Structure 1
Amino acid sequence: MRVLVWHVHGSWATAFVAGRHEYLVPLVPDRGPAGRGRARTWDWPASAVEVTPQELRALADAGAIDVAVLQRPEEGALLQRWTGLEAGRDVPAVYVEHNAPTGHAAATRHPLADVDAVATGRVPIVHVTAFNALMWDTGGARTLVVDHGIPDPGHLWTGERESVGVVVNEPVRRWRVAGTDVLARVGHHVPLDVYGIGVGALAEHLTGPVTGDPETPSDGLGHRLHEDVPQAAMHRALAASRAYLHPYRWTSLGLSLLEAMALGMPVLALPTTEAPAAVPPAAGVLSARPDDLVMAARRWLADPDEARERGDAARAHVLEHYSHAAFLHRWDAILTEVTS
């Protein structure tokens, strides 16, 4: 079928467009939020096709859009403006909720809960974690959960670099939500390799020498910052670090965490949102006490054998519980149902 889906979250979209359908990915001239088009730092198949608003209108007029996958509250209006189609009435649709509530954790009303198509069940809300489904107030809307599934990057961990790897976008702007203060606290004691968009802004917040050159050796407490590295290259570089730190206080479930585990990396994380389900005790250390994370990091830097054992358990857990094949199969079932 032809599936209209915006490029919103790169890692999730990469997993989603690897299915057996044709994916129509909106593109606007500036590649802004309304239409980013195909990903540039992820590997997408040819079946993910960029379409302009004008091309979408022609497809809609020809009845060639089978289902719309909405991911932001404004996309319903965007769909109607560009195509003349109303989600849940003129075209089957689902709404994917990627995030945990940003308001009161237990009392935030979902922005679509009272929209007629959602409230009457014509457009189901699909959560990416059971935690999100539990915390959002969606009223009488029909809700489903499709756990993340990630393409297997392979067991790439070598742990040859005595550092802790981190993946975080815009860490300074998203300071407490991303747990950047926790990251800086851990970085006060162990070397870090940090990957993501806007990580250069971290330099002034880290103790010890900082370099953007991955080939520069770390003498003592040195950190490396790696700006916006393409996914495949990032996986190879990240897997050289001895362990992975997931410092987020409040996130749905960072796919970078699951990817690091699939690489075979042992994990340090805060026990918040979906992390306790994603990281079993054998795979790492979850603690609300940053000092515990520091102690575990130091232990693994000194003991690569334990780090390897924990990383193997992390990889086994991800392959069993976050299978890409299972993710695509579940989505096939949902898309088939809503289009029937």
Structure 2
Amino acid sequence: MNILLWHVHGSWTTSFVQGKHRYLVPVNDARDEWGRGRARTFDWPDTVEELPLDRIRDVDVAIAQRPAELDLIPPHVPVIYVEHNTPKGDVPATRHPLADRDDLLIAHVTDFNELFWDCGGTRTTVVDHGVGEPAARWTGDLDRLAIVTNEPVRRGRVTGTDLFGRFTGAAPVDVFGMGVTGLTGVTTYEDLPQQAMHAELARRRAYLHLCRWTSLGLSLIEAMRMGMPVIALATTEAVAAVPPDAGILSTRVDTLVEAARWLIDEPAEAARLGERARQVATTRYGLDRFLADWDRLLEEESCASR
């Protein structure tokens, strides 16, 4: 099957393109948000081809991730819109921009997303995230805490940036991602290639997930798959992704700070939680299950349009 999709979300796309299809990704000279082409810091297979949009032909299904993409998709091509994000604004009453449409399907990446978005009469489904086996495996030999987040300076309270400093009394905090330069009181690692970042993460004692309002960070699942113990705010989909025996979740920040101190002082307990986190993430968020779910959905939408 020939699948058109834009390079929007590097981690999600890295999992998606591991399937059995041909993936056609628009590219332009600027390699901007409308034509990034193939990823440069993620490992994508040769079945991902970058082409100028006007040269992409014979599309069987299009994957849209932003409303403006819909006008760029050839007519009569079935569309699945992947909703990565939680709603913004007046959340209980937030209407999805593609609500009440009969020409596409919205695939939410979490049950939380589907619950909180008002999609009206548009058909919806949920395909849980899937993450491949990371090359790195947790050792926790550094008495440090790790965070992975993008644009924490700009996004502020959304990513829990205001909370980072509260954990530095328990251990040094290392922040990885894009747009992390400028944070104070923590050590930052700007936009490392994925494998290099995983290797660094695996040495930290525990993973902090401090997002107040996000669908479900793929970096959280990647950390769990490496066997990292998790300390997280009990918000959005995290409460379903991390069971009590795989990490510590709370909306009380002091409880999480205390948990960080505990794991720094008790590496054996960190290893116990991390091993359970790995088991849970491998079972629920494995790549085989993810790709099988998407194959089924792609086939259903392709057949329905014939």
TM-score above 0.5, yes or no: yes
Do 1:186 and 1:290's aligned partners in 2 also have CA atoms closer than 8 Å? no
Do 2:99 and 2:121's aligned partners in 1 also have CA atoms closer than 8 Å? yes
Residue matched to 1:133: 114
Q: Which has the higher Rg, Structure 1 or Structure 2? A: 1
Secondary structure, aligned partner of 1:147:
coil
- Identity of counterpart residues, as a percentage? 53
Matched, 1:290 2:276: no
| Deviation of 1:319 (Å) | 0.4
Matched, 1:265 2:237: no
Do 1:14 and 1:42's aligned partners in 2 also have CA atoms closer than 8 Å? yes
2:86 and 2:239 mapped to 1: Cα distance? Answer: 15
Residue matched to 1:74: 68
Secondary structure, aligned partner of 1:157:
coil
Residue matched to 1:175: 156
- 2:78 is aligned, of 66, 74, 92, to 92
Residue matched to 1:38: 38
Secondary structure, aligned partner of 1:199:
coil
Question: How many equivalent residue pairs?
Answer: 303
Secondary structure, aligned partner of 1:74:
helix
Residue matched to 1:110: 96
| Deviation of 1:184 (Å) | 2.2
Secondary structure, aligned partner of 1:332:
helix
Do 2:150 and 2:178's aligned partners in 1 also have CA atoms closer than 8 Å? yes
1:15 and 1:155 mapped to 2: Cα distance? Answer: 17
- 1:238 is aligned, of 173, 184, 201, to 201
- 2:191 is aligned, of 228, 231, 255, to 228
Secondary structure, aligned partner of 2:182:
helix
- 1:185 is aligned, of 166, 171, 183, to 166
| Deviation of 1:155 (Å) | 6.0
Residue matched to 2:143: 162
1:176 and 1:224 mapped to 2: Cα distance? Answer: 19
* Structure 2 portions without partners, runs of 5+: none
Do 1:155 and 1:264's aligned partners in 2 also have CA atoms closer than 8 Å? no
Q: Aligned partner of 1:40: which letter?
A: R
1:243 and 1:189 mapped to 2: Cα distance? Answer: 11
- 1:194 is aligned, of 167, 171, 175, to 175
Q: Aligned partner of 1:76: which letter?
A: L
Do 1:154 and 1:262's aligned partners in 2 also have CA atoms closer than 8 Å? no
Residue matched to 1:219: none
Secondary structure, aligned partner of 1:226:
strand
TM (norm. structure 2) is 0.97
2:53 and 2:3 mapped to 1: Cα distance? Answer: 15
1:297 and 1:189 mapped to 2: Cα distance? Answer: 6
1:189 and 1:329 mapped to 2: Cα distance? Answer: 42
| Deviation of 1:27 (Å) | 0.7
- RMSD of Structure 2 on Structure 1 (CA): 1.1
1:261 and 1:187 mapped to 2: Cα distance? Answer: 22
Residue matched to 2:241: 278
| Deviation of 1:154 (Å) | 4.7
Matched, 1:4 2:21: no
Residue matched to 2:288: 325
Do 2:136 and 2:198's aligned partners in 1 also have CA atoms closer than 8 Å? no
Q: Aligned partner of 1:265: which letter?
A: M
Do 1:126 and 1:146's aligned partners in 2 also have CA atoms closer than 8 Å? yes
Secondary structure, aligned partner of 1:106:
helix
* Structure 1 portions without partners, runs of 5+: 80-84, 207-222
2:77 and 2:179 mapped to 1: Cα distance? Answer: 38
2:86 and 2:179 mapped to 1: Cα distance? Answer: 23
Q: Aligned partner of 1:77: which letter?
A: D
| Deviation of 1:301 (Å) | 0.5
- 2:105 is aligned, of 124, 133, 146, to 124
Secondary structure, aligned partner of 2:4:
strand
Do 1:155 and 1:262's aligned partners in 2 also have CA atoms closer than 8 Å? no
Secondary structure, aligned partner of 1:177:
helix
Secondary structure, aligned partner of 2:104:
coil
Q: Aligned partner of 2:263: which letter?
A: W
Do 1:107 and 1:137's aligned partners in 2 also have CA atoms closer than 8 Å? yes
Do 2:136 and 2:199's aligned partners in 1 also have CA atoms closer than 8 Å? no
Secondary structure, aligned partner of 1:174:
helix
Q: Aligned partner of 1:111: which letter?
A: P
1:186 and 1:290 mapped to 2: Cα distance? Answer: 9
Secondary structure, aligned partner of 2:96:
coil
Q: Aligned partner of 2:195: which letter?
A: A
Equivalence map 1:139-150=2 (5 Å): 139-150=120-131
Secondary structure, aligned partner of 1:50:
strand
